[in-house]
Structure 1
């Protein structure tokens, strides 16, 4: 589905209305306090609204959405700080099943992803010094760390060396509730769950694409899409921070007048708005770049992620400072936006890793891959 700016705006507005009615700050606070770490009702609502089917092919009842449509949704995910695994399951993992699953595997999994009955997480990162995860005779052994929302996943997509096929890196589907998995659950500073996983001979089903696309190619492609989606999420957060800060400057009074009458604060607010517009432009460029061949888009996507990580952090810093001591409290949404930006800046490659990739693409040298 190719979407123009007007239609993307309608999708964004529709999602914003739902979130405004069902996911305000106090309602999100209740989700944060829930041991599950997400709202089952909201997840079912997302399925009914079609959000979970955005990345599914049309033949499986999906919308086959383009990056602009995905970005419209992710802006709302950011502006409302939604806790459900939209990014981890509906975008990243669904993209991997689309690319690496056989026809039979897609027929079995994609409808369950669309209706929300199955939540997937992608386990790729490994601790420095640990041996690589390996699959031998259909069983996987090894460790994975920092699996985004791996604490609530029903099934896992795990990258591992296939010892039965020359050690080639492949993707495998694993039951997250298997007795042979040791899961250590924890939360990132923004409240979203994660897990460190220890596989001890867990039965694993190899994803086997009919077109023979290498797993490394599929992973790189999905991580590029995830990077751009996180840029759109950052844009949603920045817009929320600019709006709430400007409103605060109007109502907070000091010495009998609104602090927004202070010219220095006005200039800082304008700088925040300019950064917001730069982030919007770079996000749009990155979304357009996803339609290009992989070799041509690395420079634009990594350049956008590197700049947006820094610019969004600056906006968040300014928002916290202009709110004063309130800006760091649990009771104000500003601190929650700040923490989400911190976590997102480290997902799918840090600012420094993407800047290095940007430089390598610019100078036509050989960049290193971006980890999950």
Structure 2
């Protein structure tokens, strides 16, 4: 289903008003680095506004949001450096449960996801020495780099059954061992160990999960592109304002032609990134073979763009650009983090290249790690 333009416009206005009024740089600084690592008040507000239920069907209180509507929320996450587990829970966790969960599982968990009382994380990256195996309702293995795995109430885990088939199962936080840490941008993550943890399979036994996992990772890639665009747009605006305000030898440094050219390059990267985000959002609903090349191409390019814009912004601000007290340094950290989550720029560039080289051979599909 495609979300209509009026709904997207109203959602964008609501998100911008709320974050402008309640999620300024100083508001964020008040919760950064403190338990639980995000704002519980903001999380409750997101639930009250219906943002955590965007993906739910209309009968369940949502709007059956597509990638464009989700992109509005993720763009705001980049513009305001939101710390809450929107991507992990409201986008990926909710989407996987909707797509693969049984009717009973959806009935049990979707209302709690919508009201914010339950937070999900998606664990997909195996430890090379301890891959996750699901057998007879029990899960063994280790997952690394689980975004918001430190605060999740339940974790959806991509694993293998004894036959080697991909499965998705859900584990309560109390049944696993978590080694929590902070990412560079201040958000929480964890390495998770499962030693015979009780794990409820999503859906029915024998139901293939590989396609659902691949789609979830592509959804993560597109959502991160939207978040990166939000970071880029904010850095372009902040840098432009700084060049007009900062004076040297009695005149604004923005009169320097070299800096003007660099600002133009940053603005072009912003507009190119916006176009690629829109393109990736439009193809996300297509079959896997048709969407992967565009999604990976956008992810690789936008990942490079946000890093370049962040580097330029820091350089234009000079030594101030790396200080804790200036917002530019925090955008820089978010840019670096975005580029490494859920398959970074290098993986997606390799997949884009592989798809491009095999475009004339439709029977061949490049293999992407689970």
How high is the TM-score relative to the length of structure 1? 0.95
Change (3 A) 1:85 1:63: same
Task: Report what 2:368 is aligned to.
Answer: 369
Task: Report what 2:173 is aligned to.
Answer: 176
Deviation per residue, 1:80-134 (Å, 9 max, x gap)? 0100000000001111101110000000011110000000001111122x13211
- Quote how far apart the aligned CAs of 1:7 are: 4.1
Change (3 A) 1:370 1:74: farther
Change (3 A) 1:370 1:234: farther
Alignment of 1:160-199 (within 5 A): 160-163=159-162, 166-178=163-175, 181-199=176-194
Alpha-carbon distance in structure 2 between the residues aligned to 1:272 and 1:6 = 30
Alpha-carbon distance in structure 2 between the residues aligned to 1:292 and 1:198 = 35
Q: State yes or no: 1:149 paired with 2:148.
A: yes
- Between the two proteins, the alignment pairs up a number of residues equal to 365
Q: State yes or no: 1:279 paired with 2:273.
A: yes
- Quote how far apart the aligned CAs of 1:214 are: 1.7
Task: Report what 1:43 is aligned to.
Answer: 43
Deviation per residue, 1:323-347 (Å, 9 max, x gap)? 1101111111111111111111111
Mapped contact 1:353–1:370 kept (Cα < 8 A)? no
Alpha-carbon distance in structure 2 between the residues aligned to 1:291 and 1:102 = 22
Alpha-carbon distance in structure 2 between the residues aligned to 1:248 and 1:24 = 18
Mapped contact 1:54–1:65 kept (Cα < 8 A)? yes
Which runs of no fewer than 5 residues in structure 1 stay unpaired?
A: none
Q: Secondary structure at the match of 1:336?
A: helix
- Quote how far apart the aligned CAs of 1:33 are: 3.4
Q: Secondary structure at the match of 1:104?
A: helix
Q: Secondary structure at the match of 2:150?
A: coil
CA-based RMSD of the aligned residues comes to 1.5
- Quote how far apart the aligned CAs of 1:148 are: 0.4
Task: Report what 2:85 is aligned to.
Answer: 85
**Counterpart pick for 2:235 among 222, 228, 241:** 241
- Quote how far apart the aligned CAs of 1:209 are: 4.8
Task: Report what 2:342 is aligned to.
Answer: 348
Task: Report what 1:204 is aligned to.
Answer: 199
Change (3 A) 1:146 1:235: same
Task: Report what 1:225 is aligned to.
Answer: 219
Mapped contact 1:190–1:340 kept (Cα < 8 A)? yes
Query: Which stretch of the first structure deviates more once superposed, 1-10 or 14-23?
Result: 1-10
Alpha-carbon distance in structure 1 between the residues aligned to 2:369 and 2:349 = 11
- Quote how far apart the aligned CAs of 1:25 are: 0.2
Task: Report what 1:255 is aligned to.
Answer: 249
Alpha-carbon distance in structure 2 between the residues aligned to 1:298 and 1:182 = 34
Q: State yes or no: 1:304 paired with 2:298.
A: yes
Task: Report what 1:319 is aligned to.
Answer: 313
Q: Secondary structure at the match of 1:117?
A: coil
Change (3 A) 1:3 1:341: same
Task: Report what 1:123 is aligned to.
Answer: 123
Task: Report what 1:111 is aligned to.
Answer: 111
Deviation per residue, 1:38-79 (Å, 9 max, x gap)? 111100100011110111122322211011111111111110
Q: Secondary structure at the match of 2:334?
A: helix
Q: Secondary structure at the match of 1:72?
A: helix
Which runs of no fewer than 5 residues in structure 2 stay unpaired?
A: 359-363
Change (3 A) 1:5 1:61: closer
